[in-house]
Chains A and B, each alone.
Chain A
Amino acid sequence: MSARSERVLNHAILGVFAVIAVFPMIGVVAQALKLPGQVDFSTFGTAWREGHFGTYLRNSVIVTGVTVVLATVLSIMAGYALGTMRFRGAQALFLLFLAGLTIPTETVVVPLYFDLRSVGLDNTYAGLIMPQVAMSVAFGTFWMRAYFRSVPPSLLEAARIDGASSWTTLWRVLVPVGRPAILTMIVLTTMWTWNEFLLPLVIISSDEGLRTAPLGLSFFQGAHKTDYSLLMAGALIIAAPIVIVYVFLQRQFIAGMLSGAIKE
C-alpha cells in the first residue's frame, strides 16, 4: 500500500467514526426541526413552554454557578497548601482527598437524602449545591495541588523575599500564572455539575420549581413518551449550553479529562 493511499484510508476511517460519533445528534437536530421537509422551529417553542425549560435552565445556571465558584476557591486554597507547604498531616490530607475521586454518587446519594431531609435541606438549592461542591473539591484539590507543585520554587522564593504573605503570593502571583490550569478545572466542574442527574432526582423530590435541566428532561420524557420531535427539542435545549462551551474550549475539556486522569 502506498503512503498516499494509506493516508487516504486512515482519514476515511477517522471520518467514519466521526460520523458515528455525531450521527445520533444529527438525528436529534433533524427530528427536532422535523427534517426532511419544511424547517420547523415551532417544536422548540412548544418544548420550551410545556417543559418549563426556562425555569429549569435558570436553576441549573444558579446551581452550577454557585457550585463552581465555591469549589474553585476552596480547591485553589487547599491545593496551594498541599502543593507548596510542608506541615504535619499534609500527606494524609492529600490521600483523603484522593480517595474522594473514586466515590460514586450512587454510594452517597441515599444517606445524603435522609440526612439532608432531617435538617430541612431537601428541596433546596443548598442541598443540591453543597454535595456537588464536596465532589468537585476532591478533584479540584488534587488538580490544583499538581499545578502548585509544578510552580518553580524560585517564584515562591522571590515573592517571599519581596515580603509578600502567603495569601498575597497565592492570589497576586500564583493564580494569575495558573490561569490555564484553573480554567481547565472550572470547565470540568461546570460540565459535571450541569450534567448531574441522580443527585437532583433524589434531593429535589417534590418542589417542581427547583428542578435542574437534566431532571426537567426526565419528567418531560415521562409526559411525552413517544413524541420524539418534542423530546429531541428538549434534549437539545438542555445539552446545548455545555456543547457550546465545549466547542469554544475543547482544548481545556480534552486536556483536562485526559491529563487530569493521567497525572498521578
Chain B
Amino acid sequence: MIRINHILKELFRNIFRNPGTAFGALLSLTLLFLLFDIFWVAAGTSEQFYDDLLYDLQMEVFIAEDAEEISLSQTKEVLLRIEGIRSVTYVSKDVARQQLIDLVGVDLLVGYDSLNPLPRSWQLTFASEYQTRERLDAIEREINTFDDVSHVQYSRNWLEKAERTKSMILDIGMVLGLLILLTALFNSANNIRLMARARAVGFYQMRLIGAGKLFLALPFMLEGFLMSGISAAAGWGLLYYWKGKIEFTWLEIIFPAVDDIILFCLATAVLGVISGYFGIRRLLKV
C-alpha cells in the first residue's frame, strides 16, 4: 500500500513539477490522435458511401429473341437459386422502351410500335458480399451458359476503378495510421525521457538504495497511460463536438462504434505505458 502511495505521489509530482511539458505533451498527442481519428472517420464514411453506391449495382441479363415466354419463368427460378443474387426483375420490351424514354427524354421508337427492337432482360441485384468484380465475373460466366440468354452486361470498368480506389484509401490509411501511432509512441516516450532526465541523479540514488526498476518506472508508465488515454479521449471528444456543429446534407458522417472508440483509447493508453517504459529505461541501468 505504501509503495502504491509513493508511486501515485511520484506520478503527480512528475506532472505538476513540469506542467508546461505535461501540457505540451498532452496537446501534441491530442493533435496526433485527432489526425488518426479524422482518418478513421473518413475511412468509415467513404466505406459507407462506397457501399451505398454498390447497393444499386445491377447486372443486366439480356434474353435471346427466340426464347419462349414459358421457359423464361423456369430460367428466372434458376437465376434466383444462384448464390449471391438478391433479386431478379423481369424487364419486358415495353418496360425497356419506357426506361429508354425516361433516360433520353423522348420516345425514339415512334413508328416502331409493332416492332420494338429492344431486348427483354432481367435486372439482377446482389448481396453486398458478392459485389466484387471476381464474384460478379463468375456469376456472369455461369449465366452466359443458359440457353435463353443472349448476353450479360454490368459496369465492370466502374467497379474495377471503385475497388482500386477503395484499396488505395485502405493502404494509405494503414500506412498513415501506423505512422501516426508510431509518432505518438515516440513523442510520448521523448517527453517522458525529458522529464525523467531532469531526475537522473535521483534515480541513480534510489537504485543504489535498492529501488527496483519497476518501482521507479511505474510512475512514468502510469503517466504515459494517463497522457495517451486522455489525449485519445480528447481527440474523440473534439470530433463529437464538431459533429454536432457541422452538418452535411449530401453525406452521412460515419463514426466508429462507441465500443471501438473505447478500445482505441485503451489501446493508446497501453501504448502510453510502453512509451513510458521506453522513456525511462536507460536511466534505470544502475
Say if A and B assemble together. no
